[in-house]
Structures are given as C-alpha cells and as structure tokens.
C-alpha cells in the first residue's frame, strides 16, 4: 500500500506545479520579446522552470535561466540562435 502511495505522489507532482510563478514568468519576459523564436524559447523556459523544474538537473535550470536573462528584446533570429548556443555551451 505504501509503495502505491509513493508512486501516486511521484506521478501527481506535475499537477502541483507553480502556475502563478509560470504566469508571472510569462508576464515578465514575454512583454519584451520581439522575435517569434525568442517568444517560443521564453515560453519553453518558463514552462520548464515552473512546471517541470523538479525534474531538471541544475545545469538545465541554469540553461533556461540564461535564456530568460538574455532573450528579451532580441530582434533577429540569428541573435536568438547565438544566445541559445552560448547558454547551452556555458551550462554543459
């Protein structure tokens, strides 16, 4: 019985994701987004950090935080790719 409760808790954890923090992340970072690919990556980073964060390694969290710190305001897709690559390199 205890084993089943542990499994239930493990699989229900995403249901307790911090929706308020996710929405605040979107409101904070998306309002400055100017390029479509940046918008997508910012949404992905907010989702990963606030809805799936307990399943991420520290280096993955740092990668997504790097994206959030550097993508807002970027206007060109080439710059988005360079930022994405740099965040990946420094967090691996």
Domain ranges of the chain: 17-90
**Counting every residue, how long is the chain?**
92
Residue 31, SS3 per DSSP: coil
User: What are φ and ψ of residue 57, in 5° steps?
Assistant: -75, 160
Contact (CB, 8 A) for 68 and 25: yes
Q: pTM for this structure?
A: 0.79
* 36-80 pLDDT tens trace: 999 999 999 999 999 988 889 999 999 999 999 999 999 999 999
């Amino acid at each position: 019985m205890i084993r089943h409760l542990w499994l239930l808790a493990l699989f229900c954890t995403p249901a307790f994701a911090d929706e308020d923090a996710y929405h605040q992340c979107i409101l904070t970072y998306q309002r400055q987004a100017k390029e479509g690919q940046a918008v997508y990556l910012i949404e992905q980073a907010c989702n990963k950090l606030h809805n799936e964060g307990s399943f991420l390694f520290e280096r993955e969290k740092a990668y997504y935080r790097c994206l959030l710190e550097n993508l807002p305001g970027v206007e060109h897709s080439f710059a988005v790719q360079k930022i994405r690559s740099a965040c990946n390199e420094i967090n691996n």
